[in-house]
Every structure is written in C-alpha cells, then in structure tokens.
Amino acid sequence: MNDRLPPALTTSPFLPFALPDIGEEEIAEVVACLRSGWVTTGPKTRQFEADFAAYLGGDVEAVSLNSATAGLHLALEALGIGPGDEVIVPTMTFTATAEVVRYLGATPVLADVDANTLNLTAAAVEAAITHRTRAIIPVHYAGFPCDMDAILTLAKAHGLRVIEDAAHAFPSLYKSRLVGTLGSDATVFSFYANKTMTTGEGGMVVTRNPEIAARIRMMRIHGIRQDAFSRYTATTPSWFYEVVAAGFKYNLTDIAAAIGVQQLRKIDAFLARRQQLAATYARALRDLPLQLPADAVAGSGNRHAWHLYVVRLRPDAGISRDALIGRLCEQGIGTSVHFIPLHRHPVWRSTCQRANAEFPAAEAAFAAMLSLPLYTKMSDTDQQRVITALNNAFAGNVT
C-alpha cells in the first residue's frame, strides 16, 4: 500500500493521523469532468446524488452540498428553526453541530453523552428539554450508531424534529438498517478529506421528506427555483428565473462530485479495510492499560463505520493522555483527540454558560482519550508501528 503514497510521505518516518485514499479512478473521473466543459453543479452531481440514494436503498432523496456543515444548516432551515428555538446537541462533537443552530439565531443546548459509546442518550436529551426545544441533533460518534429508537420515540412524544449528524457514520448500521434510512427528518453525511469517503469538501443530506429535499435544493443555490444546469440544457429560451427566498451558495461542484462517484464505488472495500484495522487493534491492544472503543454487540444488527479509533487511558495507566501523545509523536506516530467537548471551547462556554461538572461522561472521556491512526491507506506495517510505539510508550522505553 505504501507504494501508492506521495513521495514526500514514503520517505517521511512520520505516520500521519489520517490520509485520503484517492486512486486513478477518481483522477480519471475528475479529468473527464474538466474536459466535459461542465465544472459546477450539473450531471456529475446528479449522478452522485442518485448513486448515493441507491446505495441507501433508493427510497430516500439525497441532496449534495459543499459541506456537511451546510447540510446541517439547511436541514435546520428547512424545519423552520429560528430565533427563540432551542436545539439539543451532544457536547462530544465538532463545533459544526452547534454552530449551525446559531446561524439561524436559535440556541444550541449541550447534553452529556453515554460513558461507553460517547453518543447522545435519550436520558440526557430528556433532561435538556424545555418548552423552547424544537429539535435534536444526535451525532453517531466515531461511526457507532446512536440508540435511534430511543431518541426517535422521545422526539415523537415531545413533538421534536431529529436531524442526524452522520459525518462519521457512512456506512453504519443501526439494527440492520443503514444510517440515513432510520426515519429521522434528515441525515447529514460529510465528505471532508479525513472522513470515510471524500470529495475534498462536500456533504449530503438524505431525507424521505420531499418538502425538506426541495427546500434544501433551492436554498443551496441562492433560493432560485430552477438550477443553472436545467436552464443551460433547456431547449427553449430559459433566461428567466425567480428568486423566491434569500438563499445560500452551498452547491457541490461536478469536480467534487466526480471524486465522490468513484469513492462511493469503493466504500464497501474501504469499510472492510477499516474493520480489519479495528479488529487488529482490538487484538493487539487488549493487554495495554487502555479502554478500547465500544463495538457493536454480536446479534445487535449494529455496525461501526470506524471513522475513528478512539482509545481511553485506564486510571491505572500511569501516564497522562498528553504524555502518551508526546511519546507517540516522538516515535513518528500522529494521533488526535476527538473531541475537546464543546462546553470547554470559549465560544460555547460563553454562549451556553455551563459548568464542566454538568458533563461528567464527556469530561472523564476527554481527559483520557486519543484517536489512533485508522485509514485505508495504512499498511499492516504502518499499523504495527503504531502498536509497537504504544507498547514502548507504556514500557517507558522511548528514546
């Protein structure tokens, strides 16, 4: 696998935390797009959306955007979220999950997560509900599905809308069903560079609600009723268009969609490799003082997408998280932390005014967690280096 890395990386002893897996197929598709004369939203984007919907079983609509953040924003917009409304989000997530609530003048309300899966729990959501609550954004943390039955039941009982942040969760299964088909109002996937598949930057909103899909299609391109490609390809004079809402500029380009079309064809192979790497870590790390990530229980029908492999130091580890990251870095191993909980960031600290002690599970996890490299371009030898470096770090024999 290493022979496919760029030269600068093959000669570097440093193993990066993440790398995209772009092959000749993606390159050829992008070149064909560039030669076609149509580079912005057009036929490739439509194909990518159709292929993505088909992957999820065909009874959903898939609407592409230039990021998952844009998708979360427009999904909330389509639900009519606005000033005075509250939206419950987990504190253990990336800032995008909360910032989109602010785009609409509404208030994100942070909730703690399950101590094992680090997913939002129905109990934490219930405790955060007020008379202003309008929606919930569960995040399928690292690619492990939230307990959506519990969350959807609670949402229904309180008349709340649900948008799944599935930035990590393609293709995760919940009770044998693909995330994206679970019956929430909308599910949002990310194709950022380090996600389980990439378009460089990009996102997809998936919904079974045709009104939500239509609203997002319009709002992603300035609130114009008809898109540029339909006007361009029309055989009758088609200069006329109407702007019916103050929209946004969130459309995916055909150049990016060309990458996506080819990445999607590889997603099952990517998943198989991620599963293999996760299984190897689980075997090789079990005697170290680490809490390994929650995995699907056999027979549950759940499936982890393994976007992230997050380990936590056990209290008896005898080394801090920061020191461990330092010792791995000294040995040329890149790691990361997912996530610094939102309640610790200055902007959300001042907006939400919540004490760290209100989020005991996220706090305990954050203090102990680090994400190990897990991506399809890693070779078995690369992974062995990570395992050896971890063993060295705990043995204290790092030179």
Residue (209 or 336) nearer to ligand PLP, CB: 336
**Which residue in the list 44, 175, 195, 266 is annotated as catalytic?**
195
Among 38, 48, 52, 94, which residue interacts with ligand PLP (rule: CB under 6 A)?
A: 94
User: What backbone phi and psi angles, to 5 degrees, belong to 245?
Assistant: -155, 155
Q: Which stretch binds ligand PLP (CB under 6 A): 27-35, 93-101, 289-297, 311-319?
A: 93-101
Given the complex with ligand PLP, which of 167 and 261 has the nearer CB atom? 167
Rounded distance between C-alpha atoms, residue 327 and residue 330, angstroms: 5
> With binding defined as CB under 6 A, does residue 139 bind ligand PLP?
yes
Piece of 63-71, 297-305, 312-320, 366-374 that binds ligand PLP (CB under 6 A)? 63-71
- Do 163 and 184 contact (CB within 8 A), yes or no? yes
- Alpha-carbon distances, residue 94 vs 50, 168, 339, 377, 382 (angstroms): 28, 11, 7, 24, 27
Q: Using CB under 6 A, which of 67, 207, 302, 376 touches ligand PLP? A: 67
Residues in the interface with ligand PLP (CB under 6 A) total 14
Q: Which residues of 199-228 are buried (b: 16+ CB within 10 A; e: fewer)?
A: bbbbbbbbbbeeebbebbbbbbbbebeebb
Q: CA separation (Å) from 172 to 40, 56, 168, 295, 296? A: 30, 11, 9, 12, 10
Residue 192 or 281 with smaller CB distance to ligand PLP: 192
**195 among known catalytic residues:** yes
d(CA 312, CA 304) in angstroms, rounded, equals 18
97 binds ligand PLP (CB under 6 A): yes
Q: From the CB of residue 275, how many other CB atoms can be counted at a distance below 10 Å? A: 15
Q: Which of 192, 250, 270, 348: binder of ligand PLP (CB under 6 A)?
A: 192
Q: In this chain, which of 167, 206, 285, 372 binds ligand PLP, going by CB under 6 A? A: 167
CB of 202 to ligand PLP, least distance (A): 7
Backbone angles phi, psi at 49, to 5 degrees: -65, -45
Q: Could you give the CA distance from residue 319 to residue 33 in angstroms, rounded to a whole number? A: 51
Tell me, what amino acid is at 331?
A: Q
| Nearest to ligand PLP of 108, 203 (CB atom) | 203
* C-beta atoms surrounding 105 within 10 Å: 11
Task: Give the binding range for ligand PLP (CB under 6 A) out of 38-46, 164-172, 267-275, 310-318.
Answer: 164-172
Among 91, 172, 190, 199, the residue binding ligand PLP under the rule CB under 6 A is 190
Could you tell me which residues come within 8 angstroms of residue 46 by beta carbon, excluding any fewer than 6 positions away?
Answer: 229
Name the segment binding ligand PLP (CB under 6 A); options: 91-99, 130-138, 323-331, 390-398.
Answer: 91-99
User: What is the pairing mode between strands 107-111 and 86-90?
Assistant: parallel
| Binding span for ligand PLP by CB under 6 A among 6-14, 46-54, 160-168, 316-324 | 160-168
Least distance between ligand PLP and beta carbon 379 (Å): 25
Residue 31 DSSP one-character state: H
Q: Which is nearer to ligand PLP, 192 or 306 (CB)?
A: 192
- 164 binds ligand PLP, rule: CB under 6 A: no
Tokens of 304: 């982890």
Q: Which is nearer to ligand PLP, 79 or 146 (CB)?
A: 146
- Exactly one of 40, 41, 64, 69 binds ligand PLP (CB under 6 A); which one? 69
Q: Calculate the CA 355 to chain-centre distance.
A: 27
Of 90, 143, 171, 203, the one binding ligand PLP (CB under 6 A) is: 203
Residue 85 CB, shortest distance to ligand PLP, in Å, is: 20
- Residue 280 makes CB contacts below 8 A (sequence gap 6+) with 380, 383, 387
Q: By CB under 6 A, name the one of 49, 85, 114, 165 that touches ligand PLP.
A: 165
Write out the catalytic residue numbers.
195
Residues binding ligand PLP (CB under 6 A) = 67-69, 93-94, 96-97, 139, 165, 167-168, 190, 192, 203
